[in-house]
A and B are shown apart, each in its own frame.
Chain A
Amino acid sequence: MDETNHMDEGPVAVAGLLLFVQAAVTVALAVEAVGAALIFGGVPAFGAILTVAGATITLILVARLPKGRRSTRRWILGLQIGWLTIGLIDLALALGLAGRALTPTGILVQIVLPTSIFWLLCRSDARSQFEDSEPTVAVDEDPELEGLWA
């Protein structure tokens, strides 16, 4: 008996799962950042605030993804670009300063995970599942009425 026939399938569902894991990772990073800010006397508070905000935003996007709004998709893609940018800079620093790559977990979290989410949401079968948040005006698409509202 397959207990998960009710699970959503498809690239958007997979992206949603990976995004949720990314959100969980960001929550853990936020807790660590707050701890570090307390230890280092509050100066790194901006990093902690940014990480907490990032975790919150990611969780909100996870909740909104099933609604299929294009704006949500754009936000998610933007978030992945942010992750990849930092990841690639970190990779460049590691290669340039220490002659080695990122740690395996760094590669997974900063490169593989955002790349996977980005690729899944850019697939054509995923893009078609998103619609504009603005409601469609039906009369605008009626050829008999076209131009009358201009």
Chain B
Amino acid sequence: MNEGGALLERYVGSPLYGIAPEHGLAILAVFGLVLVVTTIGWSARRGNAMSEAVLVRYRALGSVHRLLVWLLGVSGVMNLGMAFGHFDSGVGVWLFIVATSQLVAVRRILLARSWRTVLGILLIGTLTVNLGLAVAGITVGQVGMITALVEATALAVIMRSVEGGKVRRTVASLTVIGAIGFTTLAGWGGAVVAGIGGEKIGETPLPGVLLPVGIDRAPTSAEQRAARLFYERTVAAIDKYKDVSVAAADGYQVENMFGSQFHAENPQRKSDGIILDPQRPEMLVYEPTANGPVLLGALYEMESIGDPGPMFAGPIAVWHAHDHICFGSIPVTITGFESPLGACPLGSLSIPVTNEMMHVWTVPGVDDPYAELDEEWLAAYLEMNG
């Protein structure tokens, strides 16, 4: 059942794919810019000398210069908007400086004054600082990414006009490619730092994960008992699937296992109208090893996107969904998560949201069977148990 916009309001996702509240002013600023430009055009037609002068200077520019003026104007006002959103921190001060510099550069371009070198240094610096912000755990977010892309395009205008030999032009081109690469890295970095460890109700998750909104709390004794009983039943019910041939006979797709924590689907059980049955989990999770696959646990999945999973054990067994998953067609498999640049690998489609699901880890010794499996613990377990 898809409730449209209300569906996503039920979840907390990574700030990488969202618009932070403190960045709302940046979006308004762009509309403000359009309004200002429209006003200049209108007043110029009514004989305002200053507006006419601006219009004359703009029309005297070639199309590439006009593009540069717009790119700097948009990024300048967006940085200004973000500066006001971060007014109580050093980030706000930096953004204000950047915004002012970019808008001053617009003026210099319109006045046909020199601007290239300083602006080039400024843009490279701005795009590099994004990486520093990411390391500090500040997620760039969608507004930050848009601004960075606009700035990178402005940088491309500057770098593509570099004269000189092939080496110099190649370095200039690589600078732009590197700037976009830095920007992408900044997007991932900030999102990962912000989302590490986020797996409980209301916490900020890693990119690609959706958690239910709410406030985490201590479980009741009834919830603890329910969680323990369900775990024990799952362990007992899927023990037979340690033998993959038994799993295959029951309809689990255990061929061609790859990677880590391979999810073996059972198409029939995904649409049998039964959920949370330890005898009929929708997926099994295996770890492919040199000595054969090791059963890690089960995955229970709701049948339709938007259907909330039953919170039978309260905050202990938290259902999650995934968003911005990239799916390729050859073969039909996950190819990654949607880039901070807003696209998937070529030939892949972006799935905006999946059904809700819940893991139950049955591998002996796991600390919390309902939490994310710790990779280091798993590696140590596999090494000890051959």
Contacts and interface: CB of A to CB of B under 8 A. Distances in A.
A108 B349 contact: no
Interface string B245-278: 0000000000010111000000000000000000
Given A13-B64, A41-B260, A47 B335 contact: yes
B8 A25 contact: no
Contact of B342 (A41, A50, A54, A108): A108
A32 B345 CA distance: 8
Given A27-B181, A28-B341, A44-B336, A89 B349 contact: yes
A97 B258 contact: no
Contacts of B114: 1-3
Contacts of B8: 98-100
Interface in A26-55: 26-33, 35-37, 39-44, 46-48, 50-51, 53-54
A148 interface: no
A103 B342 CA distance: 7
B221 interface: no
B351 interface: yes
B142 to A, nearest CB: 5
A94 B183 CA distance: 25
A132 interface: no
Most-contacted residue by chain A among B156, B157, B184, B341 (CB, 10 A): B341
A101 B324 CA distance: 12
A14 B68 CA distance: 10
Interface in A83-117: 86, 89-90, 93-94, 96-100, 102-110
B347 A47 contact: yes
A97 B349 CA distance: 13
Contacts of B2: 96-99
Interface stretch (B172-180, B195-203, B212-220, B312-320): B172-180
A90 to B, nearest CB: 5
A21 B153 contact: yes
A116 to B, nearest CB: 10
B5 A43 contact: no
Contacts of A130: none
Nearest to B259: A41
A17 interface: yes
A36 to B, nearest CB: 3
Q: Which secondary structure characterizes the binding site on chain A?
A: helix
A141 interface: no
A5 B348 CA distance: 42
A74 to B, nearest CB: 19
A8 interface: yes
Contacts of A17: 64, 67, 153, 156-157, 160
Contacts of B67: 14, 17
B341 A18 contact: no
B80 interface: no
Interface string B138-167: 000011011001001100110011010000
A7 interface: yes
A36 B345 contact: yes
Contact of A102 (B116, B161, B342): B342
Given A29-B343, A109-B341, A99 B349 contact: no
B63 A97 contact: no
A130 B339 CA distance: 34
A25 B330 CA distance: 22
A9 B68 CA distance: 12
A28 B347 contact: no
Contacts of B183: 28
Given A13-B63, A97-B353, A51 B346 contact: yes
Contacts of A28: 177, 180-181, 183-184, 339, 341
Contacts of B5: 99-100
B305 A97 contact: yes
B333 interface: yes
A28 B288 CA distance: 30
A4 interface: yes
Nearest to B353: A98
A24 interface: yes
23 contacts: A7-B65, A8-B64, A17-B64, A20-B156, A24-B179, A24-B181, A29-B339, A32-B336, A33-B345, A40-B258, A42-B258, A44-B336, A46-B347, A47-B348, A51-B346, A94-B350, A97-B305, A98-B352, A98-B353, A100-B8, A102-B350, A103-B338, A109-B149
Interface of A: 1-4, 6-11, 13-14, 16-18, 20-21, 23-33, 35-37, 39-44, 46-48, 50-51, 53-54, 82, 86, 89-90, 93-94, 96-100, 102-110
User: 7 nearest interchain CB pairs?
Assistant: A99-B4, A41-B259, A9-B62, A105-B342, A36-B336, A106-B342, A41-B258
